[in-house]
A = this chain, B = another copy of it.
Amino acid sequence: MKICVAQLNYKIGDIENNTQKIADTIHEAKQAGADLVVFSELAVCGYPPDDLLDFPWFIEKCEQGLEMVAQSCQGIAAIVGGIGTSTYSTGRQLHNVACFMRDGRIEDTVKKTLLPSYDIFNESRYFEPNREHRVIDYKGVKIGITICEDMWDKYNTFEYEKSPASHLSVNGAQLIINPSASPFCIGKQKIRNKVLEGNTKRFNSPIVYVNQVGAHSDLIFDGSSCVVNGKGEKVSTLDTFKEDVQYIHFKNGEITNASEDETNPEAEEIKLIHDALVFGIKDYFKKMNFKTATLGSSGGIDSAVVQALTSTALGGDKVHPVLMPSKFSSSGSVKDAEQLSKNLGNPHITIPIKNVYNSYVKSLEPHFEGTEFDTTEENLQARARGVILMALSNKHGHILLNTSNKSEIAVGYSTLYGDMCGSLSPIGDVYKTKVYALAQYINRDQEIIPNEIINKAPSAELRPDQKDSDSLPDYSTLDEILNLYIEEQKGPWEIKSLGYDSKTVEKTIALVNGSEFKRFQSPPILRITSKAFGRGRIIPLVANYC
């Protein structure tokens, strides 16, 4: 049996174009002599559709989409992810399904059993779990279909009560097919490999793992689909951050690679992060039909990295940086920012904020009598810049990108409605120390980001001789504490017991907890870690906890 593994990029909710893409791929696979094409989870509507699933008219469209695709299955079979209406007398009305189609119709519908509901996943909100398990017999092969999490029964932070794969194995499955929608984060590919290996060992059957590729504001799906033989060896790996279609053979209970391609070697971490962010920006602009970007270019490392990533994603001529110096900006910073735009081929402009800032100060003077320059005036500068950038965005249609990094978002060292403005936050899940690593990676072949930007001490330049280190611990210590508190979810006492200075730990955690209100109004952040700010981390605003 020749199987086509179709790793495609879907737009959420866009049933018409998604189903057309699926039908086209089925047609091509048939031309190539395939017997079966496999698509990723919820292919028809894209993953995650979120509360679009609450709309009855949307469900109807999804079901019509599946029917349309089924009609295109003539002389070939397909497994297509979509939404199914429940056949049970109790429980939620929807299922997350994979439809087995042939001869122009949906021959069988397999429901998802394990519904991930943690971190960025929310499936119990919508779906009723599967209650029965059967294999599909196609051309003499017993195929067991598990959907994404169904394969993760023993590989989560907890073990699920049910094991759909065990049931299918008992029922004689010779080949496991797993349509998935598993988003990228650092280290995720290793975990997936362990899950695939564990499953082949437990059930002695090869697995075809078909992941979604594509980015949707915060979530980046990397693809990296693969096929594992019964010994747990990868015989085929599909592209990362790109659509890819490959063919494999299933014969005598085992899988072989049809195209004899070499499998892709695993990329190093910093390259993966870089490529994920470039893909996240690129796909966001493409799917939103945005053409050009703008951002505040300060001469600092954060805006430099965002500017470089965006130039790679969209092309240098599509990025319009704005230099907005104040009296606190060093001449070095301005020069460095100009050099950066030159290196990247960005058409930059300069708008000093002095006049706007002074007019605010003057207007507020009667009400600020007897007060000193403090964070109010620092914020005024950041907000004056935010308003200028938004005006340029409104007038010229450039999309404003946010340049905050994860360390400063964590401790709230950013100004709401100022440097927190933006439509998308490309490095909001990248700690400051990793931002430096990204800059080095961007410069791997030539000096794109001027070395002066990389080497200078970090500063917001909002008052004379300001340095981040005046009020924060050095970033290597800060990032370690933040990682322990945010990703590792350790409490203050545990972190202190690891040898960190008690006052530093307390201050850091108080800053993190005290800035939930800012993060609540933050733009969507491209997710690259196991715990990004955003939908995967929901902390009460009105609370008192540590």
Binding site for B on A (CB under 8 A): 11-14, 17, 46, 48-52, 54-58, 88-93, 115, 117-118, 122, 124-125, 158-161, 215-217, 284, 287-288, 349, 351-353, 355-356, 358-360, 362-364, 367-368, 371, 374-376, 379-380, 383-384, 386-388, 390-392, 394-395, 416-417, 421, 423, 489-494, 517, 520-524, 535, 537-546
Contact present for B542 and A284 (CB under 8 Å): yes
Using A356-B363, A364-B391, A521-B523 as known contacts, say yes or no to A288 and B539 having CB atoms under 8 A apart: no
Contact present for B541 and A52 (CB under 8 Å): no
Q: Which of B50, B160, B517 contacts A423 (CB 8 A)?
A: B517
Contact present for B368 and A390 (CB under 8 Å): no
Contact present for B51 and A539 (CB under 8 Å): yes
Q: Which of B90, B118, B359, B386 contacts A356 (CB 8 A)?
A: B359
Minimum Cβ distance to chain B for residue A522 (Å): 7
Contact present for B391 and A416 (CB under 8 Å): no
Contact present for B545 and A13 (CB under 8 Å): yes
Contact present for B364 and A58 (CB under 8 Å): no
Minimum Cβ distance to chain B for residue A487 (Å): 11
Q: Which of B159, B349, B423 contacts A367 (CB 8 A)?
A: B349
Using A417-B421, A545-B14 as known contacts, say yes or no to A50 and B161 having CB atoms under 8 A apart: no
A545 surroundings in chain B (CB, below 8 A): 12-14, 52, 58
Minimum Cβ distance to chain B for residue A537 (Å): 6
Separation of A490 and B55 alpha carbons in the complex (Å): 7
Most buried by B among A88, A360, A544: A544
Using A359-B359, A539-B51, A541-B524 as known contacts, say yes or no to A351 and B380 having CB atoms under 8 A apart: no
Minimum Cβ distance to chain B for residue A184 (Å): 16
A287 surroundings in chain B (CB, below 8 A): 542
A49 surroundings in chain B (CB, below 8 A): 540, 543
Contact present for A544 and B388 (CB under 8 Å): no
A17 surroundings in chain B (CB, below 8 A): 544
Contact present for B364 and A392 (CB under 8 Å): yes
Contact present for B391 and A380 (CB under 8 Å): yes
A388 surroundings in chain B (CB, below 8 A): 360, 363-364
Using A14-B543, A363-B388 as known contacts, say yes or no to A51 and B91 having CB atoms under 8 A apart: no
Contact present for B493 and A539 (CB under 8 Å): no
Nearest B residue to A94 via CB reads B158
Using A217-B540, A417-B390, A542-B287 as known contacts, say yes or no to A360 and B367 having CB atoms under 8 A apart: no
Minimum Cβ distance to chain B for residue A181 (Å): 13
Most buried by B among A51, A374, A379, A537: A51
Q: Can you pick out 8 interface pairs between chain A and chain B where the beta carbons lie within 8 Å of each other?
A: A12-B542, A13-B543, A14-B545, A57-B546, A117-B117, A351-B364, A364-B395, A390-B417
Separation of A392 and B383 alpha carbons in the complex (Å): 13
Contact present for B416 and A390 (CB under 8 Å): yes
Contact present for A394 and B375 (CB under 8 Å): yes
Separation of A524 and B13 alpha carbons in the complex (Å): 26
A125 surroundings in chain B (CB, below 8 A): 117-118, 122, 124
A520 surroundings in chain B (CB, below 8 A): 523-524
A124 surroundings in chain B (CB, below 8 A): 115, 117, 124-125
A56 surroundings in chain B (CB, below 8 A): 489, 491
Q: Which of B11, B92, B160, B376 contacts A391 (CB 8 A)?
A: B376
Minimum Cβ distance to chain B for residue A88 (Å): 8
Contact present for A544 and B394 (CB under 8 Å): no
Minimum Cβ distance to chain B for residue A475 (Å): 24
Separation of A351 and B394 alpha carbons in the complex (Å): 25
Minimum Cβ distance to chain B for residue A546 (Å): 7
Contact present for B216 and A541 (CB under 8 Å): yes
Contact present for B11 and A544 (CB under 8 Å): yes
Minimum Cβ distance to chain B for residue A75 (Å): 31
Minimum Cβ distance to chain B for residue A124 (Å): 3
A353 surroundings in chain B (CB, below 8 A): 363
8 more A-B residue pairs beyond the given contacts A90-B160, A360-B387, with a C-beta to C-beta distance below 8 A: A12-B543, A12-B544, A58-B546, A89-B159, A93-B158, A356-B356, A374-B395, A386-B417
Separation of A546 and B88 alpha carbons in the complex (Å): 29
A364 surroundings in chain B (CB, below 8 A): 351, 388, 391-392, 395
Separation of A524 and B284 alpha carbons in the complex (Å): 25
A352 surroundings in chain B (CB, below 8 A): 363
Contact present for B351 and A217 (CB under 8 Å): no
A517 surroundings in chain B (CB, below 8 A): 423
Contact present for A376 and B356 (CB under 8 Å): no
A362 surroundings in chain B (CB, below 8 A): 355
Contact present for B371 and A351 (CB under 8 Å): no
Contact present for B521 and A522 (CB under 8 Å): yes
Contact present for A90 and B55 (CB under 8 Å): no
Nearest B residue to A57 via CB reads B491
Contact present for B379 and A363 (CB under 8 Å): no
Separation of A490 and B490 alpha carbons in the complex (Å): 45
Separation of A88 and B158 alpha carbons in the complex (Å): 11
Contact present for B90 and A159 (CB under 8 Å): yes
A58 surroundings in chain B (CB, below 8 A): 491, 545-546
Contact present for A544 and B360 (CB under 8 Å): no
